[in-house]
Each structure stands twice: as structure tokens, then as C-alpha cells.
């Protein structure tokens, strides 16, 4: 099948559909770019940088790009492979002797490629919330030595950000440069991505404002501060960019610019870990094989933003959709509409389809109990090898207060039933800004068990009572 794209028709249809889809999802603002046959054929900003204000989004508006960063991390390793300083099947411990997981065999056999293709055997999202609670990258890395794997090594896909921390360590050990400095010199500058950098080096006032929907009704749009995640997990999600700059990154993926060998670009664009039928994960890309052409894409999500980057090598076309609202599938709808348009497939109203399939509904949280209990029974110090010491003390009225981490992150514990309390992190220590509920705390004579729910349902910490 040969794709037949009339650029003027494609651009008109995409522009119309973008406006429609963003309106359907009530997205305050978006920036979109399309590349075809080596040219940037479309760049446009929609809406506003902050809800309720007239600050227009443009092609140069800066967004945290979150997990779209992962492909930059994988390509930074490809540069070292091309330079003969690294091999894809090298063991991590050959370069980082302090690398340690619970299973000694897995520790020894963990290869460079295993760091970025989500086949480590641990549960999805392992230990990521520790960053929000004030733990630093070294604390989180050390914690992996105490986690029991959920599956056997390399047997299943599970999306985890923490292994990308060791990519940063590898680059620094091999080159003597911090990861951010290395990619600035070797990727961003050569690609003329002048406004792209790690988030800690960007003036935050230059960023678009992020937005979420309120928990109670899922109807009110609220501005929100970006979380700490990008600053801790740099190689997994710490870049800031614009669609103007990302158009250069898209041209590289479509082989109109060159930084690494063709062999290594193909390596990054090929599946390493099966996710489900016709879907695999490669070098920072999800790879779909259920269409006339292979489709490679990746999303970007932290509280306040939601993006998608998609390209089709055989059609020599791609799209970037950056949005400043978390609770929206507009970026998915627009990019899938583009892909089907390019491949000549029957067109669908993806926004309507996604709204019907996954409607935006109010959050359902367990409720606090009115039962009177003696909360003094639960006060004290609890600890384990991952979180260290956790203090439980009397809070307001009948609530307990939990204090943990090097920065004394705080959470309110509200009684739910029996010896179980609901955990609500306070302010910046929230599971995500504006949605601070995290899970439950259950006490026994000797232990405190912290369990996450919803997005964090895989996370469980068992602490011993002193």
C-alpha cells in the first residue's frame, strides 16, 4: 500500500479536527506540528497558556515533555555505542559496580538495553512516588535492592521510570559529563533545538501553565504547579521543549537529519519487549504493527500536561501534539486521526469514541469513618529498608499525621475502618499536585502497611514498629 498525501488537504482537515477535538476535551491550549517528506508542513498554537487568560500558545511555547524524553535517553546511549564506548549487551555492573537489585543473578545479567525497554520484572511505577515525598534519586535507586520482582526478568512488560536513573549514571561515568550537559552538546545543539533543555535549567516562568480537572465533578479546569518528577527523573521525563524544536527531533526520527548510525537508529526503532499483540516497546518508542505501516509513538504525562509524539517511517510523516490539560485524550485522538489519514484508512471521530469509551468521571474515594477510636494506639516510629523511619503522631482532631522522607513530607491519616486509615498527602507531597490522596495505612501490633490505590495500586510498603 502506498500512502497518498495531499498536503494542503491534509493540513486543512487536521487543522479543523484539532480545533474540534481540543474543544471536545476542553483543553485550554495546545501546540501541534506536522512533518512530511523532510519538511515541517504545519505548526500552530491553539488556545491559551493559562485558562481564563489570553496568553496565546505558539509553536515556540515551552512545555515539560515528560516521557517523550525517554527516546532522547536511549539515543544518548546509541551515541556511545557508535563511539565504541559501550555495547548494547554490556552488563550494567561493568560500568556501575554499585548497581544492585534483590536477585544477585538479575543484578549480574542486567544489560544496558534492559535500562530503557521496561522488562526488568518489577511492578509498574515502582518507587516513583518516593520522589514526591522528598527522597532523592540515590534513595530511590538503593530502594530497588529491596523490592521483590513481580515477574521473572525479561518475561513481561512493566512501565518503570527508575531504571532511566542509571542511564544518567552511565553517561556520567563514561563521558565525565552530566546527562543534561551531554545531550545538550551532542543532541540538542547539533539538531539546532535551541530552546530545549532539562527542566532544572529552564526559567519556569517561560513554561505554559499546566491544568487538571477538579476531583469532585471532573468539570472545572484548574491551573496546577508541575510536580517534582521531571527534576528527579531527568532521563525518563525531564526535558522541556516546543513543537518548533521537536519538529527537528521528528526530522531525525524520519532520517532527514543524522546523529547516529543507521544500524543503531533501526535498533532503537525495533521492538525489544512485547506489550500485547501487535504492540512492542523499543528505544523510547511504542511500536504498533497492526496498521498498513509501522507506527511509532510515545506519550508524555505529568500532572498538568498530556502529549503524544507519533511518526510513520514508511509514509515519511509524523505529528507532535502538546497539550496543557492532564485529563484529556485530545493528543491521542488527534495523532490517531492523523495516522489514519496518512495511511488512507477509514476515518473515525476518535475524540467522540474515546469520550464514550473512557468518559471523564468524578473520582470515587473511600470515606472517613465516624467511629471513635483511640489513635494513641498507633503513634510511634516505624521503619523499613526502603523508606527508612516513618513517624506516626497525633494530627488534628481524630486524625493521625504521617511524616516521612528526608524533607519530612506529611500526610493526614483519616480513620476508615478497623485499623485502617486513608492517606492524604499534604500540599506538595501529594501523589500528584491537586490530587493528594494516595492509599491506605493499616496497623497491626508489629507492622504498618502502606498500600497505594488507583494509579499506585502496585505499591505496598511494610514497615516494622520500633
Q: What is the pLDDT of residues 394-410, one digit of tens each?
A: 988 778 999 999 999 99
C-alpha cell at 390: 516513618
Q: Could you tell me how far CA 265 lies from the centroid of its own chain?
A: 22
Distance CA 88, CA 81 (A): 7
How does DSSP assign 160-208, residue by residue? -STHHHHHHHHHHHHHSS-HHHHHIIIIITTTT-TT-EEGGGS-GGGBP
The span from the CA of 323 to the CA of 308, in Å, is 9
Distances in whole angstroms, Cα of residue 233 to Cα of each of 67, 135, 159: 10, 12, 14
Highest mean pLDDT (candidates 201-215, 304-318, 335-349): 304-318
Q: What would the grid cell of residue 57 be?
A: 500558545
* Average pLDDT value over all residues in the chain: 93
- Nearest alpha carbon to residue 172 among 64, 80, 78: 80
pTM of the model as a whole = 0.95
Q: Mean pLDDT across the stretch 430-456? A: 82
Confidence band, pLDDT 50/70/90 cuts, at residue 431 = low
Check residue 360 and give its pLDDT: 74
Cβ neighbours for 101, distance < 8 A, ≥ 6 positions apart? 107, 110, 144, 145, 147
pLDDT of residue 396: 80
Q: CATH 3.40.710.10 residue ranges in the chain?
A: 7-75+168-357
How does pLDDT run across 149-186, given as a tens digit for each residue?
Answer: 999 999 999 999 999 999 999 999 999 999 999 999 99
Torsion of CA 440, 443, 449, 452, to 10 degrees: 0
Q: How confident is the model at residue 454 (pLDDT cuts 50, 70, 90)?
A: confident
Give the tens place of pLDDT for each residue, 107-150. Answer: 999 999 999 999 999 999 999 999 989 999 999 999 999 999 99
Looking at mean pLDDT, say which of 26-35, 125-134, 445-454 comes out highest: 26-35
- Which pLDDT value is given to residue 1? 38
Residues 89-106 pLDDT 10s? 999 999 999 999 999 999
Q: Which fold has domain 375-465?
A: Lipocalin (2.40.128)
Tens-place pLDDT, residues 273-299: 999 999 999 999 999 999 999 999 999
Distance from chain centroid for Cα 338: 23
Return residue ranges of the chain for CATH 2.40.128.600: 375-465
Residues 296 and 313: beta-carbon distance below 8 Å: yes
Sequence-ordered list of residues with C-beta below 8 angstroms from that of 303, at least 6 positions apart, any chain: 210, 212, 224, 226, 227, 326, 432, 433, 434, 435
Extract the C-alpha cell encoding 121.
520484572
Per-residue pLDDT, averaged over 376-384, amounts to 95
The CATH architecture one would assign to domain 7-75+168-357 is 3-Layer(aba) Sandwich (3.40)
Residue 363 predicted with pLDDT over 90: no
Amino acid at each position: 500500500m502506498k500512502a497518498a498525501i495531499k498536503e494542503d488537504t491534509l493540513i486543512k482537515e487536521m487543522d479543523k479536527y484539532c480545533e474540534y477535538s481540543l474543544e471536545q476535551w476542553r483543553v485550554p491550549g495546545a501546540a501541534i506540528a506536522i512533518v512530511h517528506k523532510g519538511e515541517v508542513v504545519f505548526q500552530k498554537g491553539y488556545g491559551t497558556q493559562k485558562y481564563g487568560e489570553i496568553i496565546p500558545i505558539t509553536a515556540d511555547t515551552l512545555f515539560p515533555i515528560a516521557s517523550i524524553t525517554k527516546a532522547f535517553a536511549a539515543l544518548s546511549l546509541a551515541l556511545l555505542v557508535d563511539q565504541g564506548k559501550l555495547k548494547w549487551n554490556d552488563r550494567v555492573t561493568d560500568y556501575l559496580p554499585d548497581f544492585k537489585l534483590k536477585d544477585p543473578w538479575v543484578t549480574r545479567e542486567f544489560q544496558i538495553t534492559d535500562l530503557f525497554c521496561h522488562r526488568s520484572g518489577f511492578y509498574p511505577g515502582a518507587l516513583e512516588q518516593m520522589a514526591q515525598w522528598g527522597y532523592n534519586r540515590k534513595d530511590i535507586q538503593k530502594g530497588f535492592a529491596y523490592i521483590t520482582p513481580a515477574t521473572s526478568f525479561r518475561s513481561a512488560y512493566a512501565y518503570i521510570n527508575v531504571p532511566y536513573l542509571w542511564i544518567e549514571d552511565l553517561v556520567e561515568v563514561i563521558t565525565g559529563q552530566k546527562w543534561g550537559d551531554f545531550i545538550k552538546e551532542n543532541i540538542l545543539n547539533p539538531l539546532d533545538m535551541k530552546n530545549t533543555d532539562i527542566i532544572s535549567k529552564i526559567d519556569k516562568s517561560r513554561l505554559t501553565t499546566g491544568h487538571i480537572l477538579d476531583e469532585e465533578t471532573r468539570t472545572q479546569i484548574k491551573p496546577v504547579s508541575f510536580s517534582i518528577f521531571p527534576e528527579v527523573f531527568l532521563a525518563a521525563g525531564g526535558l522541556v521543549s516546543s513543537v518548533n524544536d521537536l519538529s527537528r527531533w521528528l526530522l531525525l526520527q524520519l532520517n532527514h537529519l543524522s546523529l547516529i548510525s543507521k544500524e543503531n537508529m533501526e535498533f532503537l526503532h525495533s521492538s525489544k519487549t512485547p506489550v500485547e499483540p501487535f504492540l512492542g516497546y523499543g528505544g523510547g518508542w511504542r511500536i504498533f504493527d497492526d496498521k498498513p505501516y509501522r507506527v511509532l509513538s510515545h506519550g508524555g504525562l505529568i500532572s498538568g500536561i498530556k502529549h503524544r509524539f507519533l511518526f510513520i517511517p514508511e509514509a515519511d510523516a509524523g505529528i507532535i501534539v502538546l497539550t496543557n490539560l492532564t485529563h484529556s485524550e485530545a493528543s491521542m485522538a488527534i495523532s490517531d486521526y492523523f495516522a489514519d489519514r496518512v495511511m488512507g484508512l477509514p476515518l473515525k471521530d476518535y475524540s467522540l469514541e474515546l469520550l464514550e469509551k473512557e468518559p471523564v468521571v468524578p473520582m470515587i474515594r473511600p470515606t472517613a469513618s465516624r467511629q471513635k477510636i483511640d489513635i494513641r494506639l498507633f503513634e510511634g516510629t516505624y521503619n523499613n529498608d526502603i523508606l527508612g523511619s516513618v513517624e506516626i503522631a497525633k494530627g488534628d482532631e481524630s486524625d493521625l499525621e504521617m511524616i516521612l522522607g528526608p524533607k519530612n513530607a506529611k500526610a493526614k491519616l483519616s480513620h476508615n475502618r478497623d485499623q485502617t486509615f486513608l492517606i492524604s498527602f499534604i500540599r506538595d507531597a501529594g501523589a500528584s499536585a491537586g490530587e493528594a490522596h494516595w492509599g491506605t495505612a493499616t496497623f497491626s501490633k508489629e507492622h504498618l502497611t502502606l498500600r497505594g490505590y488507583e494509579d499506585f495500586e502496585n505499591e505496598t510498603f511494610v514497615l516494622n514498629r520500633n
